Structure 1
């Protein structure tokens, strides 16, 4: 009988013949495939002596649940569109996201709270962040609160408690005034809403600083590409900084930048003896703020944000503080809700407002 009769299942071939003939043709190949598949085993299917999962234990002297205290700033962060009450303060949500992106949580340090309550909160955190802002008068409750917290940071470190501090933009300006003991030391610069480069000082030692973990190619790009965001009209020139003995003995200048008039100012500093880092630029904006079209959002710029955040949290993990879980939960910023202000175009996309 011809092949045409076989494949058409006609003539003397029954219905069952149409099933077993293709199976016979396929069988050698199918068996071979089955053998090949049977050799692919999941790790958990291997004999015990061949399966050794690697789960290294945590370093016992590091704390893997760090908390960062962020100091609130006077106002509502939206030009009084949200609240104009006299005791209103805010924290831009970008600072909170910045901390969380590196594996830490946030407790708001509301600057109008009693000194007793603020000190109690400082005992719940493993580091502090001073934000940017506009209150650089060098007087009043906010300035006094920054000074008290800064003093407490130094005391904790002097007592053997590793306790890092990040001071961004206004935060660095206020520390410059406090450390120098000169409220008129700051100078005028034209660096509002400006992306810029960073220029490392000739003798800068980045070991143990925020830049230590930056890949070499990213460090180089910081000097050639505008990867950091500036937004300030005050700062300090390297000459004036170095002329002040108190400043130059406390801080080492790591980088400088130039404003729109080509005037040079100090842009990153690191304390010589304390885990205190100061930025005139804004490491949080690249990844988490969108109001200004000048904020850099390239992949390299996002890496700058991430490395800066990672360093702060890695320093906080060295803290010996182990706060009670319930007290932490009662004070976390999760007890508050951020407000979307991006449509108002007032500088921040989201803010936490405290009244």
Structure 2
């Protein structure tokens, strides 16, 4: 039986037997959800792309041993069903967009969230991780989307330590973390926060989410508001952090992102953890050709930092005609 690059693809057998589902997947491929093109790029790139992914998320996942497939917005449910059947997990990134735009980030996230629940209910271990805006989206999806979003305003544009809950060490996200990583996270200002909305404990209580979701850490905004910094689902492999572990790969000089050895070491924990969760999933592409066509390597990065962006590099997707179908955005979280 032909084996491509050491990988058994769907339908292949090893030594006449099905490959063991209990073995960890050492070639995880993770989907990163794109979002509506940031308004600051409208006049910078004449192609007028519909969506983007900051390259720092790709770098963070690759540094932890995964490859990335971009997941496009504006598709029907069958697209998300198909791609999730080939991926080993999905990351909802941070960014800046509304949640009430048709066929955008939130609608795509709704499909992915619902399908991930279906998969896990069927015994198909499928992890999802949300960062900042993506974290907020997960909780709003869990709350049930409506005209009033289940989050509050805050002002958090600096680096914070984590205030861990008393039982955080029994959580999946932190139980295997080295003591030195926990000490760094709890004592040093190395988690990057950049958001004007957040999730507080009351958001979980008001929508009956406390039985399903477990808070593992808090941080404080500039006005002393205690917001949820990290949490996880009690049943499904769903995780979220309000801060930005990927910012160790962003170098904007006007920002205060820490690049100390401790900051890099501690922030790496989160993507290391998530990628290891994705190793428990055994979805795969039909063959190497299909896999290659979907990987993010098919797209070029743009040096957006030189254009004034807080993102050093970005991937852009699906160009359209200039001047058509533009939507006004607000900066909600990056």
The residue aligned with 2:308 is 345
1:200-219 maps to which residues of 2 (within 5 A)?
Answer: 200-209=164-173, 211-219=174-182
TM-score of the superposition, structure 2-length normalised? 0.82
Equivalenced residue count is 294
Q: CA RMSD in A?
A: 2.0
Give the counterpart of 2:103 among 126, 130, 141. Answer: 141
Is the 8 Å Cα contact of residues 78 and 341 (structure 1) preserved in structure 2? Answer: no
The residue aligned with 2:59 is 97
Tell me whether 1:262 sits opposite 2:224 in the alignment: yes
Change (3 A) 1:174 1:84: farther
Tell me whether 1:233 sits opposite 2:191 in the alignment: no
1:137 offset after TM fit, Å?
Answer: 3.2
Change (3 A) 1:156 1:177: same
Q: Residue deviations 1:227-263, cap 9 Å, x none? A: 1100100012223323431x21221111110011111
1:87 offset after TM fit, Å?
Answer: 6.1
Say which SS state the counterpart of residue 256 (structure 1) adopts: strand
Give the counterpart of 2:130 among 147, 162, 167. Answer: 167
Change (3 A) 1:202 1:212: closer
1:270 offset after TM fit, Å?
Answer: 0.4
Q: Residue deviations 1:154-199, cap 9 Å, x none? A: 111111111111111111111221111254321110113x111111
TM-score of the superposition, structure 1-length normalised? 0.78
Uncovered stretches (5+) of structure 2, i.e. residues with no partner: 1-19, 319-334
Aligned equivalents of 2:171, 2:231: Cα separation in 1: 13
Q: Which moved more, 1:317-326 or 1:341-350?
A: 317-326
1:237-248 maps to which residues of 2 (within 5 A)?
Answer: 237-245=200-208, 247-248=209-210
1:95 offset after TM fit, Å?
Answer: 0.4
Say which SS state the counterpart of residue 310 (structure 2) adopts: coil
Is the 8 Å Cα contact of residues 251 and 269 (structure 1) preserved in structure 2? Answer: yes
Higher RCO (CA < 8 A, seq sep 6+): 2
Structure 1 or 2: more helix by fraction:
1
1:60-209 maps to which residues of 2 (within 5 A)?
Answer: 61-76=23-38, 78-83=40-45, 88-142=50-104, 143-181=106-144, 182=146, 183-192=148-157, 194-209=158-173
Change (3 A) 1:62 1:169: same
Bigger CA radius of gyration:
1
The residue aligned with 1:8 is none
